[in-house]
């Protein structure tokens, strides 16, 4: 559990994560999409749980994050929130829920907060969505920003490759990061950018910067299914696997199938 948490302040808040950065304490963040997993992640001491729109890939098998809807995010979000007592829960605003207008964005952010009980929302993008972010924060909803590889823009990028390698894009990202901080974001995710650029952003901002494939930062985030090794064919350079759940699950299910087929399961002790 993070050291700054006293016995009377058990829930991680936006204030806590700002203090963690100020004190040089690293922030841990993982995604979750369901009640059971979120309970395990929370009890293991994570600081922030992200109900990512990566649920579109991980839970629904889509090839991008674009198809996931606000209703689907709300379902995943409230399932996670029910399981969590310590971590801050941040819910992604899905594609199409905040890009049309600031008014639309604040309406959808309010709906997501009310229907999930999450503590904050995350939006992808920089300058173009600053008016939406300002409106959402003015409504009392904390916002986490997200720059670099922003998967909702995959059709503009054309690939999931590293972003901001070129000077012009790196400078634009720096300007966006500062604009997000000035608009009131409490934290920022940087995805798949060069480590040197992440360092520049971290030292230019007072809000925490949480990286994924972006090198050392104020904190790190991974997609839970990836770091648990559930996704057999997915091994990007930035991913560290902490388990081989694909292997463990395949073996367990294979043994179950074999026990059912042989009549070994259920045995006498497993009957009423
Ligand atoms: O949706 C997600 O899981 C994310 C993380 C990759 C940061 O946005």
What positions carry a catalytic annotation?
191
Question: pTM of whole model > 0.75?
Answer: yes
Give 169-204 pLDDT, tens digit per residue: 999 999 999 999 999 999 999 999 999 999 999 999
Does the CB atom of residue 54 touch ligand 1 within 6 A? yes
Using the mean position of ligand 1's atoms as its centre, give its distance from the Cα of residue 252 in Å: 29
Question: Which three-class secondary structure string do you get for 155-211?
Answer: HHHCCCCCCCCCHHHHHHHHHHHHHHHHHCCCEEEEECCCHHHHHHHHHHCCCCEEE
Residue 9 binned pLDDT confidence (cut-offs 50, 70, 90): very low
Using the mean position of ligand 1's atoms as its centre, give its distance from the Cα of residue 53 in Å: 6
Predicted local confidence at residue 100, as pLDDT: 97
Question: Of ligand 1's atoms, which has the minimum distance to the CA of residue 31?
Answer: 3
Using the mean position of ligand 1's atoms as its centre, give its distance from the Cα of residue 52 in Å: 5
Does the CB atom of residue 221 touch ligand 1 within 6 A? yes
Does the CB atom of residue 52 touch ligand 1 within 6 A? yes
Give 239-264 pLDDT, tens digit per residue: 999 999 999 999 999 999 999 999 99
């Amino acid at each position: 559990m993070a050291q700054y948490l006293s016995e009377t302040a058990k829930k991680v808040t936006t204030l806590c994560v700002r203090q963690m950065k100020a004190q040089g304490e690293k922030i841990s963040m993982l995604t979750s999409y369901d009640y059971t997993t979120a309970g395990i992640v929370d009890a293991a001491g994570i600081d922030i749980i992200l109900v990512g729109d990566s649920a579109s890939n991980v839970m629904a098998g889509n090839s991008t994050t674009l198809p996931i809807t606000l209703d689907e995010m709300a379902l995943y979000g409230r399932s996670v929130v029910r399981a969590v007592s310590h971590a801050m829960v941040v819910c992604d605003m899905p594609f199409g829920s905040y890009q049309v207008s600031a008014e639309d964005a604040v309406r959808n952010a309010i709906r997501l907060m009310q229907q999930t009980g999450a503590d904050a929302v995350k939006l992808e993008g920089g300058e173009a969505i600053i008016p939406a972010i300002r409106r959402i924060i003015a409504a009392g909803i904390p916002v986490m920003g997200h720059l670099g590889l922003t998967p909702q823009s995959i059709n503009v990028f054309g690939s999931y490759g590293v972003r901001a390698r070129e000077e012009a894009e790196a400078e634009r990202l720096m300007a966006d990061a500062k604009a997000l901080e000035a608009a009131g974001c409490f934290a920022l995710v940087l995805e798949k950018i060069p480590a040197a650029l992440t360092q520049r952003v971290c030292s230019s901002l007072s809000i925490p910067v949480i990286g994924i494939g972006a090198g050392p930062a104020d904190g790190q985030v991974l997609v839970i299914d990836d770091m648990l090794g559930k996704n057999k064919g997915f091994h990007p350079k930035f991913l560290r696997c902490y388990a081989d759940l694909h292997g463990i699950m395949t073996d367990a299910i294979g043994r179950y199938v074999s026990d059912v087929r042989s009549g070994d399961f259920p045995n006498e002790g497993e009957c009423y």
